[in-house]
Amino acid sequence: MTLDKEEITLKIDGMTCSHCALTVEKALKNNGAENVMVDFVQGEAKIKSKGTIDSEALIAAVKKAGYQAKKKVRT
């Protein structure tokens, strides 16, 4: 699924420290994410983009980095 000019939040499982957050941030940025904020305490990554966000590709990148990820549904 792709979104134009949007913000998405991914729920990330397995992060325990700031190094984990940096690893996830790097994985996301290496896969096209422009503006990334990762919070290991909350277990979330917020991604903002001026262009298209491919959430499935970003989830795959996080999984490849060794963490579990899924798109967080807003309530």
Place of tokens 């499982």: 13
Look at the alpha carbons of 74, 18, 58, 13 in this order and tell me if their dihedral is positive or negative: negative
Q: Which CATH architecture has domain 2-71?
A: 2-Layer Sandwich (3.30)
pTM of the model: 0.87
Q: What is the pLDDT of residues 2-42, one digit of tens each?
A: 544 688 999 999 999 999 999 999 999 999 888 999 999 99
Place of tokens 């983009």: 49
Neighbours of 6 (CB within 10 A): 14
Q: Provide the residue ranges of all domains of the chain, joining segments of one domain with +.
A: 2-71
